[in-house]
Amino acid sequence: MSSRRTLSSRQIAAAALEIADREGIDGLTMAAVAERLGVGTMTLYGYFRSKDELLDAVLDEAVRGFRPASREGTWRERLEQLAHVGRENLERHPAMVAIRFRRPVLRPEALRFGEAALGILLEAGLDPREATQSFRLFFTYVFGFAGLSPRRTEGDARRHAAAAIALLPPERYPNLTAAAAEAAAAMGGDEQFQYGLDRILDGIEARLADRRR
């Protein structure tokens, strides 16, 4: 938990995060972390009761490096900026996404993102109920996009997708085969992220206008 000799929990978590980000969540094994630190595998169990506890520390470590969003501008500008900052953070630490899809994350530091988004939506004029619901939509989009888009390392994911779509029988898949290039392009990237974000923000804005009436 606290003062041991050669290592610290933080050091171990940082090493584990680096491995997970680089090799993927499946590459994050206790043996790999130990080897990277030059200690025996079992040494790690002096700092964490289990791998699951280490994963919690990995999340904390990832969140620690998160850039905060600015606090200037309209609710829409701020929420848009928070989305981009959130996505950048997740791209720098893809391990976070993989862990989140395995179980909910309730660590205090990781909840700062939710706290910020919720604050913006409340200030925009939504009641607590709708603000949390809109936050959840926002969160689902940012994390869902990160989890469902090809990773940056998989540069040929689009080519694979385009090829698979091109092989479909056009009579059963007229729309997909006709728009194969567009469909492959829309698998990820800045422009696609922005397009979906714009539609969501438009939808929330329409809701705010509705409520004001």
Interface ranges with DNA (CB under 7 A): 3-7, 28-32, 39-43, 45-47, 50-52
125 touches, from DNA, its own copies, none (C-beta below 5 to 8 Å by class): none
Asked if 202 touches its own copies (CB under 8 A), the answer is: yes
Rounded-to-integer distance, Cα 44 and Cα 158, Å? 39
Contact (CB, 8 A) for 64 and 109:
yes
Q: Which C-beta is closer to DNA: that of 45 or that of 101?
A: 45
185: its two tokens: 């392009």
Return the exposure string of 10-48: e unless at least 16 CB atoms fall within 10 Å of the residue's CB, then b.
Answer: eebbbbbbbbbbeeebeebebebbbeebeeeeebbeebb
Q: Which does 4 bind (CB under 5 to 8 A by kind): DNA, its own copies, none?
A: DNA
Task: Give the residue from 112, 140, 104, 126 showing the smallest Cα distance to 209.
Answer: 126
Q: What's the min distance (Å) between Cβ of 48 and its own copies?
A: 20
Q: Of 111-170, which residues contact its own copies (CB under 8 A)?
A: 111, 114-115, 118-119, 122, 128-137, 139-141, 143-145, 147-148, 150, 157, 160-161, 164-165, 168
Contacting residue, 8, 64, 152, 206, with its own copies by CB under 8 A: 206
Residue 28 carries which DSSP code? -
Closest CA relative to residue 54, chosen from 3, 101, 95 = 95
Cα separation of 97 and 143, whole Å? Answer: 7
Residue 31 near its own copies by CB under 8 A: no
Site residues, its own copies (CB under 8 A) = 100-101, 104, 106, 108, 111, 114-115, 118-119, 122, 128-137, 139-141, 143-145, 147-148, 150, 157, 160-161, 164-165, 168, 172-176, 178-179, 182-183, 185-187, 192, 195-196, 198-204, 206-207
